[in-house]
A and B are shown apart, each in its own frame.
Chain A
Amino acid sequence: MKAHLTRRYLFSASHRLHSAEMSPEENLATYGKCNNPHGHGHNYALEVTVSGQVDPSTGMVCNLVDLDQTVDREVLSRYNLENLNTLQEFAQTVPTTENLCIEIFEILQRTFPYAHLERVRMEETMMNSFEYQGGGDGTAQRRITS
């Protein structure tokens, strides 16, 4: 029997949305307040969904301890209380939550071998959420939830 398991994590980080390919005016028009050169922060909620057959001997899709340890080590310790723009992966890429979602999906796909990674979902605020399921052209599906 296949089941999907979702675990929710919280972290906080700052960022500034600014594209080197755009003029200052275009940046301001595109990103508005998010273009403030000093940056700003969010409390992000991260939902990681994995799937697999429920192991009859444990009743589990995977051991939650393994998932928590991987997410702590590979994601939370990297991003929590950091300025995203200072990190190598966002040196050339704008740290929108779309791109953050894709980055986290790819990190977990490389580092979590114990179940199938179905989806990464992120809430930037209570009003915005983003989901990435991999396999596409690297474009996150943006869903405005209000």
Chain B
Amino acid sequence: MVYLTRKAEFSASHYYHNPDFTPEENARLFGKCNNPNGHGHNYTLEVTVKGEVDPRSGFVVDLKQLKEVMHREVLDAMDHRFLNKEVPEFFTQIPTTENLAIAVWQRLQPKLKNASLHRVRIYETPDLFVDFYGEE
């Protein structure tokens, strides 16, 4: 089994707010991230797939295809967007890095043909990242 990781970057804005909470609870729980005008990050996405090396091609996966899927399913939808307002998953869920990692997994997993998705890692900043390994 060989693991292959492809990296990509995107920039987006978001804010944290739960309509079930009072304004005071939202402010206490989410702090500055509760500002409804949003704030942004340069996210780094790492997608790791795993598989046996194809003896004919020497590849675990065709990197070009992986890159295309990542661009089409994730970057085109999220890069330079306001996540709460423009990405459907976040009309109802809070766009934390945890939920973002889950959403990216759910977008990529059905589209990957020959590779098995192992991990989605998203860096919100260089000192904070989330890993998602699929539903547990």
- Interface residues of chain A, those whose CB is within 8 Å of chain B, are 1-9, 49, 54, 56-61, 63-65
Contact = CB atoms under 8 A, between A and B. Distances in A.
A60 B97 CA distance: 8
B99 interface: yes
B43 to A, nearest CB: 15
Contact of B98 (A3, A8, A49, A65): A3
Nearest to A57: B18
Contact of A7 (B31, B127, B132): B127
Interface size classification for chain B = 20 to 34
B18 to A, nearest CB: 6
A30 B21 CA distance: 59
A64 B96 CA distance: 11
Interface string B12-39: 0000101011000000010100000000
Contacts of B94: 58-59
Contacts of B129: 5-6
B118 to A, nearest CB: 13
A59 B127 contact: no
Contacts of A59: 16, 93-96, 98-99
Given A2-B133, A3-B131, A8-B127, 18 more contacts: A1-B132, A3-B98, A3-B102, A4-B131, A5-B98, A6-B129, A6-B130, A6-B131, A7-B127, A8-B126, A9-B127, A49-B131, A58-B16, A58-B29, A59-B98, A60-B98, A63-B29, A65-B31
B131 A57 contact: no
